[in-house]
Amino acid sequence: MIIVMSPESTQSELDAVVSKIRASGLTEHVSRGSERTIVGAIGDERPLNEQSFEQMAGVERAIHIVKPYKLVAREGHPAGSVIDIRGIKLGGKQVQVIAGPCSVETQEQMHLAAAGVHAAGCKMMRGGAFKPRTSPYAFQGLGVQGLEFFQAAAREYNMPIVTELMDVRMLDTFLEHDVDVIQIGARNMQNFDLLKEVGRVNKPVILKRGLSATISEWLMAAEYIAAGGNNNIILCERGIRTFETAYRNVLDVTAIPVLKKETHLPVLVDPSHAGGKAWMVPALARAAVAAGADGLLVEMHPNPCDAWCDADQALTPQELNDLVASLRLIAQAVGREL
Amino acid sequence: MIIVMSPESTQSELDAVVSKIRASGLTEHVSRGSERTIVGAIGDERPLNEQSFEQMAGVERAIHIVKPYKLVAREGHPAGSVIDIRGIKLGGKQVQVIAGPCSVETQEQMHLAAAGVHAAGCKMMRGGAFKPRTSPYAFQGLGVQGLEFFQAAAREYNMPIVTELMDVRMLDTFLEHDVDVIQIGARNMQNFDLLKEVGRVNKPVILKRGLSATISEWLMAAEYIAAGGNNNIILCERGIRTFETAYRNVLDVTAIPVLKKETHLPVLVDPSHAGGKAWMVPALARAAVAAGADGLLVEMHPNPCDAWCDADQALTPQELNDLVASLRLIAQAVGREL
Amino acid sequence: MIIVMSPESTQSELDAVVSKIRASGLTEHVSRGSERTIVGAIGDERPLNEQSFEQMAGVERAIHIVKPYKLVAREGHPAGSVIDIRGIKLGGKQVQVIAGPCSVETQEQMHLAAAGVHAAGCKMMRGGAFKPRTSPYAFQGLGVQGLEFFQAAAREYNMPIVTELMDVRMLDTFLEHDVDVIQIGARNMQNFDLLKEVGRVNKPVILKRGLSATISEWLMAAEYIAAGGNNNIILCERGIRTFETAYRNVLDVTAIPVLKKETHLPVLVDPSHAGGKAWMVPALARAAVAAGADGLLVEMHPNPCDAWCDADQALTPQELNDLVASLRLIAQAVGREL
Amino acid sequence: MIIVMSPESTQSELDAVVSKIRASGLTEHVSRGSERTIVGAIGDERPLNEQSFEQMAGVERAIHIVKPYKLVAREGHPAGSVIDIRGIKLGGKQVQVIAGPCSVETQEQMHLAAAGVHAAGCKMMRGGAFKPRTSPYAFQGLGVQGLEFFQAAAREYNMPIVTELMDVRMLDTFLEHDVDVIQIGARNMQNFDLLKEVGRVNKPVILKRGLSATISEWLMAAEYIAAGGNNNIILCERGIRTFETAYRNVLDVTAIPVLKKETHLPVLVDPSHAGGKAWMVPALARAAVAAGADGLLVEMHPNPCDAWCDADQALTPQELNDLVASLRLIAQAVGREL
């Protein structure tokens, strides 16, 4: 950590900073510039708190030099992680398209959806049984019955399933129903108790980025899961909140190369929630694969007009099929396969 | 709801929209303009979903006319709600300053803090026993022991206590320890399972605004609590996330008059988390009261330099004392008292 | 326009709204719903001002139904515009990569840069002679001499040049120096006097998006140019400002399909300014072409380490060469060529 | 400046950094930590460019320690500047309310407006003759005739006038018409040629904050004016752009104490543009004065319903009168007068 003293700071204020550094088991390095004196704290600075220095008299600013995340950092784990989901690899050469409806509605809908996902060449399926809805009056998901409908449909094609966990109390139920990949939604990215719980199980977890989470906060949320012992973490960019009102969110493609540099975890992109309209999905999906994403989470509904939620962002089975074909060419152009 | 047809839409597409409106139990009102045909859906439009219209062929846009919140809306409840917390009124003429440390650390620290809060003339106390921390390696709060230290200190001055609930599984513990006001933190504003649970108890709830939550999303989160039967809801603005990096968050004072118009719920402001630095607190606190806030949530620590978290945003007991004196004058200038 | 009356509005307030609509030469359509009365204004609503209705007694909200832009709108001009720049087509099947240094520094640097741009297969060149710099103490560009160095270098390869105009008083100088494409920078997107001036000449104009400009504001800025009679307008997305601090700006790829739907103007993307680091450029450039961009504006410097500004975002000539090769594959994957 | 070397950097990369520091006339200070080596550049670091270090091999990050602004910084000018505008002091003990219509419309409107401004106890008047409008089809202001109407009305009460300059070519006209205070609007905050021109004259300048300008960028824009020799600079916060759609902009009150700490320049607030609705103005105006603003820029129109622009944000003369009375109490509560 670097501590910048203010121009009018005194020797005794500097001494106090030095004492505090030493008390934390680090050593100091004082550097007197023409306008400011700067103190470097040498040693493992992670336990140091910028704030506890910034409120000391004579201190202008404290700056962490080392990144706060460790287990999920690329530094120290130069090779990218490949997550194995019942034999399907996420994070390797193959780009994975995980498709399915926003919410599980009926057994028949799920059978049709599973057929469409499989026909398009996708190997995994998504669907929501517990839905986070802005309004308490909106459909909240079928719950446990939804998990059953989902598994019954996906098993016909031997596809692993991805579904969202919102409540810590439902984790055992998810395990009993053999959910293959637990999704933590954007609104729960910093639900730390939930992160701790999924950190204790041995299941792959997709951690969606919070609507206005920085890359650093997101990686620290992943660090919560890793700190619990679960290293099967997959990040998913799903659009960030900005001032723009012409579309729901802004898909942050810059995050893709930045995550690839900062962390060894695989990176998915959800183009459906990002744009919020089915007609935007193909362009965003192509951009994501071109920028280096390891896979996509795409909404598809056998009959979008009748979808019970997020109706206007789901592709039809045919549109999914066409999209996968076009993504295959993009994947090849960047040295991947699909 | 207003449904705007696109210029090239056909009669049969229009007919489909009309049928859908009728199927929802509403009646339509078709208005043909020079460039667009517009359809009004007449009746209770809350169950209608904008998206399910927007994905229909020939539809350009669907616009809700009625606000999505009902129980918390000022419309229908013209008088502002006054919440009674063990005899102390929040939302009435008196502005309430709720002060205390970021986190409960020791019994002695809490005794000193309680003495300072009381000496400054505040009637309620805040403090965190369970702390939401960005890093899994940071101090996570004392937990249940923290609740005990807190109650022991606050009871000496008969001050109701405000403390944050992060995990649904801890709600019974909060009730057993007689927590007077349950705080839902910014990161959990859309933790819907938690909202549903606190909606089932009969305790006042402070609902902090999410870092990038719109007013509408925030009121819908409050609606979750109200829909469960708990009307003792208090909103707390605590700064929003923007592009500015010179301070942690931007205190959104505009939210205060807007909330006063949109909802009957009382509005608190947390100037400590908004700015992130103790020296900003007095200016922000004054602005909040001048703009019409019903109260403040302020961090004070008996010895800020030794605080275990958010050290640089806590006031000293003396600074709190001075601030309350200055706020009294502002309160009077706007026809309130403190 | 739709005018929503508040629930407690009176008949005379409604009458006043109707009178105002008629006074503007439109006709009204009144629709009484269960909770609100809604008035539609039928006719050309562009001259109507939402605000002048919203401040009338009894009015809750006024909503424009028709988009405010007309000349640049795709509606009415279904085919995309192709801009001809000395025989090079922008907006057609071929994706154009326009490359060159951030700023013109020396004649030799420009000769080397032109050679590199040409060798990579690019047909147009960019470079800044007048530089918008945050600091008054930073290098402000070589000015007119820079234009001369630039033209001398680009002409060797018969490449049209793109350079930024900041000051209306320099427009004649630009014309005298045969600048082929005038760039309006992000900071000047709403410098309306500058837009009016470039609207009066017959030169292609690249209009960069303001740092926090909405799509609608951006298209209205383009409308200023079109309203002056100049239809040779090219839009350029260059990243928007958000809360994220890990990179300079967020490249808004969602804007690409949205612009393609809303306007007939060609769309460029500047991946260099968006990310701010050379190592991010390839991923962002690929994403842009995959999402449907008509071209790119890329920074390349013969020797990035010695660049006088934005040193760390320029590619080397070799990196540009490699990037163009990889973009060619992406272009083919989306049915374009390069 | 602090240069952080990456963990895998080599000795020769470190040597190159040291050479570059020495070549800039500074000296280095190398500090080897447990995970990173850090190099301090000692001397006047303002000419150093972070980017030119960040693109060097082996460099992870370069951090400026000294603020980039100098002439406008509070550091070195501990006393706040007081600007004298024809005998009226801005920045001293007295809070100034500058009121008037959004745009100059007719001579009669301006006479009525001036009477209302004066009657409310305000000493200066605002009004726009040249209007920056999002749409080219909207009223663009009366131009020079507007300046004449404005002066004719304001002179009756000997009130200095404030009006916006958009085009460098109009500066002489402004001087000829004795404009007392030149306003630079939010959209032109980084119109550097305009800043340079107003830096050359000896007139007070109000510099509005750009819609998404950081405090640092804003102060650097002010530095452009100061660097030209004009120190009569007044800053004006007018709301920033965020994700919130319930109101036009978010008034950033946190900027007030931060500016007071960072710069010696006086700080105004424009509550009218911030919220965009007249009913929000009183709460925002009170918040601004309570937070320490030196004055306000408020829209008032003799007949808001007939205003030619921004109709719904103007106060009536009576509302202005009431607001000033209430602000007087707030000013006293914070030790100011009005």
Question: How many angstroms separate the CA of residue A51 from the nearest CA in chain B?
Answer: 6
- For residue A32, give the H/E element and its range: strand A27-32
Q: What percent of chain B has pLDDT over 90?
A: 77
Q: Which residues of C touch D55 (CB under 8 A)?
A: 278, 304-305, 311-312
CB-based contact D134 C217, cutoff 8 Å: yes
Residue with tokens 């460039």: B35
* C187 near B CB under 8 A: no
- Using CB atoms within 10 A of its CB, is residue A176 exposed (0-12), middle (13-18) or buried (19+)? exposed
* pLDDT the model gives residue B63: 85
For the record, the structure tokens of A263 come out as: 């962390």
For the record, the structure tokens of B98 come out as: 């709720």
Is residue D249 scored above 90 in pLDDT? yes
Give partners of C (≥3 CB pairs < 8 A): A, B, D
CB-based contact D254 B275, cutoff 8 Å: yes
Q: Which residues of B touch C43 (CB under 8 A)?
A: 33-34
Is residue C8 scored above 80 in pLDDT? yes
CB-based contact B132 A278, cutoff 8 Å: no
Q: Which residues of A touch D2 (CB under 8 A)?
A: 2, 38, 63
Q: How far is CA D311 from the centre of its chain?
A: 23
Q: How far is CA C15 from the centre of its chain?
A: 43
Is residue D212 scored above 80 in pLDDT? yes
Is residue B150 scored above 70 in pLDDT? yes
> Parallel, antiparallel, or unpaired: how do β-strands A267-269 and A181-184 relate?
unpaired
Give chain D's end-to-end CA distance (angstroms, integer).
44
Give the residue from D137, D138, D146, D187 showing the smallest Cα distance to D167: D187
From the candidates A51, A140, A215, A305, which should be mutated to test the interface with B, based on the most B CB atoms within 10 A?
A: A51
Give chain A's end-to-end CA distance (angstroms, integer).
44
Mean pLDDT of chain A: 93
* B288 near D CB under 8 A: yes
* pLDDT the model gives residue D147: 98
* C106 near A CB under 8 A: no
Residue type at position A42: I
Q: What percent of chain C has pLDDT over 90?
A: 77
C4: helix, coil or strand?
strand
B46: helix, coil or strand?
coil
Residue type at position B270: D
CA distance D73 to A60: 15
* pLDDT the model gives residue D29: 85
Question: How many angstroms separate the CA of residue C287 from the nearest CA in chain B?
Answer: 24
Residue with tokens 């129109």: D301
* C258 near B CB under 8 A: no
* C4 near A CB under 8 A: no
* A12 near D CB under 8 A: no
* pLDDT the model gives residue C320: 98
CA distance A203 to A230: 7
CB B207 within 8 A of CB B233: yes
pLDDT tens digits for C178-208? 999 999 999 999 999 999 999 999 999 999 9
CA distance C125 to C118: 9
CB A337 within 8 A of CB A330: no
Give the residue from D230, D225, D206 showing the smallest Cα distance to D293: D206
CB-based contact D188 C193, cutoff 8 Å: no
Residues D229-248, mean pLDDT to the nearest whole number: 96
Residue with tokens 């298209």: C219
CB-based contact D169 C166, cutoff 8 Å: no
For the record, the structure tokens of D317 come out as: 């003369």
| Helix spans in A24-83 (H) | 50-54
* pLDDT the model gives residue A34: 73
Give partners of A (≥3 CB pairs < 8 A): B, C, D
Give chain B's end-to-end CA distance (angstroms, integer).
44
* Chain D CA closest to residue B326: D333
The 8-class DSSP code of residue B278 comes to G
* pLDDT the model gives residue A179: 98
B128: helix, coil or strand?
strand
pLDDT tens digits for A126-160? 999 999 998 898 889 999 999 999 999 999 999 99
Residue A253's alpha-carbon distances to A314, B5, C249, D15, in angstroms, are 21, 33, 11, 36
Is residue B110 scored above 70 in pLDDT? yes
The size of the B-C interface in CB pairs under 8 A is 60
pLDDT tens digits for D16-46? 999 989 988 888 888 887 778 888 888 877 7
Which residues have C-beta within 8 Å of that of residue A40, sequence separation ≥ 6?
A: A1, A2, A3, A28, A29, A30, A31, D31, D33, D38
CB-based contact C44 B66, cutoff 8 Å: no
Give the residue from B215, B213, B217 showing the smallest Cα distance to B267: B215
Residue B268's alpha-carbon distances to B98, B179, B196, B247, B292, in angstroms, are 9, 19, 22, 21, 9
pLDDT tens digits for D147-169? 999 999 999 999 999 999 999 99
CA distance C129 to C132: 10
For the record, the structure tokens of C2 come out as: 């739709």
More confident residue, C51 or C311: C51
* pLDDT the model gives residue A311: 67
The 8-class DSSP code of residue D327 comes to H
Q: DSSP string spanning D175-241?
A: HHTT-SEEEE-GGGTT-HHHHHHHHSS-S-EEEEPPTT--HHHHHHHHHHHHHTT---EEEEE--B-
Residue type at position D158: N
CB D195 within 8 A of CB D168: no
> How many beta carbons lie within 10 A of that of residue D121, not counting itself?
15
pLDDT band at B33, cuts 50/70/90? confident
> Measured between CB atoms, which of D137, D188, D220 is closest to C134?
D220
CB-based contact D311 C55, cutoff 8 Å: yes
Residue with tokens 């809490």: B110
ipTM of the complex: 0.94
* pLDDT the model gives residue B24: 85
Is residue A310 scored above 70 in pLDDT? no
* pLDDT the model gives residue C311: 67
pLDDT tens digits for C30-43? 888 777 888 888 88
> Measured between CB atoms, which of A256, A283, A330 is closest to C333?
A330
Domains and CATH numbers, chain D: 2-63 (3.30.70.1140), 83-333 (3.20.20.70)
Give the residue from D235, D266, D262 showing the smallest Cα distance to D66: D262
Is residue D89 scored above 90 in pLDDT? yes
B residues 54-73 lying closer than 8 A (beta carbon) to C: 61, 63, 65-66
The 8-class DSSP code of residue C115 comes to H
Strands, E assignment, D64-159: 83-85, 88-90, 96-100, 124-126
CA distance D211 to D187: 7
Least confident of B122-136, C88-102, D30-44, D221-235: D30-44
Is residue D259 scored above 90 in pLDDT? yes
Give the residue from C338, C332, C322 showing the smallest Cα distance to C120: C322
Mean pLDDT of chain C: 93
B256: helix, coil or strand?
helix
More confident residue, C55 or A310: C55
pLDDT tens digits for B268-325? 999 999 988 999 999 999 999 999 999 999 999 998 877 777 668 899 999 999 999 9
C312: helix, coil or strand?
helix
* pLDDT the model gives residue B40: 85
CA distance D226 to D233: 8
* pLDDT the model gives residue D38: 86
Is residue B47 scored above 80 in pLDDT? no
pLDDT tens digits for C257-310? 999 999 999 999 999 999 889 999 999 999 999 999 999 999 999 988 777 776
* B7 near C CB under 8 A: yes
Is residue D306 scored above 90 in pLDDT? no
Residue D298, phi-psi category: left (phi > 0), alpha (psi -120 to 50), beta (remainder):
beta
Q: DSSP string spanning A119-164?
A: HTT-SEEE-BSS---SSTTS----THHHHHHHHHHHHTTT--EEEE
CB-based contact D223 C132, cutoff 8 Å: no
Is residue B68 scored above 70 in pLDDT? yes
Angle D225-D229-D233 from CA coordinates, rounded to 5°: 45
More confident residue, C4 or A125: A125
A231: helix, coil or strand?
coil
pLDDT band at D311, cuts 50/70/90? low
For the record, the structure tokens of A36 come out as: 């400011």
Which residues have C-beta within 8 Å of that of residue B162, sequence separation ≥ 6?
A: B98, B100, B124, B125, B126, B127, B179, B180, B181, B183, B206, B297
Is residue B11 scored above 70 in pLDDT? yes
Q: Which residues of D touch A32 (CB under 8 A)?
A: 42
More confident residue, D168 or C27: D168
Sign of the dihedral through C-alpha C178, C183, C188, C191: positive
* D214 near B CB under 8 A: yes
Give the residue from B133, D119, D9, B9 showing the smallest Cα distance to A68: B133
CA distance C123 to C147: 18
Is residue D136 scored above 70 in pLDDT? yes
Is residue C249 scored above 70 in pLDDT? yes
CA distance B209 to B241: 11
Question: How many angstroms separate the CA of residue C213 from the nearest CA in chain D?
Answer: 9
> How many beta carbons lie within 10 A of that of residue D326, not counting itself?
17
pLDDT tens digits for A44-94? 777 777 777 887 888 888 888 778 899 999 987 899 999 999 999 999 999
* pLDDT the model gives residue B95: 98
Q: Which residues of C touch D67 (CB under 8 A)?
A: none
Mean pLDDT of chain D: 93
Backbone angles phi, psi at C278, to 5 degrees: -60, -35
* D323 near B CB under 8 A: no
* B258 near C CB under 8 A: no
> Measured between CB atoms, which of A190, A305, A309 is closest to B132?
A190
Q: Which residues of A touch B227 (CB under 8 A)?
A: 136-137
CB C212 within 8 A of CB D240: no
Backbone angles phi, psi at D134, to 5 degrees: -55, -35
pLDDT band at D210, cuts 50/70/90? very high
Q: Which residues of C touch B18 (CB under 8 A)?
A: none
* Chain C CA closest to residue D193: C167
CB C186 within 8 A of CB C141: no
pLDDT tens digits for D275-297? 889 999 999 999 999 999 999 99
Least confident of A251-255, B42-46, C210-214, D144-148: B42-46
* Chain A CA closest to residue C287: A287
- Using CB atoms within 10 A of its CB, is residue C310 exposed (0-12), middle (13-18) or buried (19+)? buried
| Helix spans in B68-143 (H) | 107-119
Is residue A252 scored above 70 in pLDDT? yes
| Helix spans in chain D (H) | 11-23, 50-54, 107-119, 144-155, 171-176, 192-199, 215-227, 255-262, 271-275, 281-290, 317-333
* pLDDT the model gives residue C139: 87
Give partners of D (≥3 CB pairs < 8 A): A, B, C
pLDDT band at D48, cuts 50/70/90? confident
Backbone angles phi, psi at B59, to 5 degrees: -95, 130
* pLDDT the model gives residue D8: 84
* pLDDT the model gives residue D310: 67
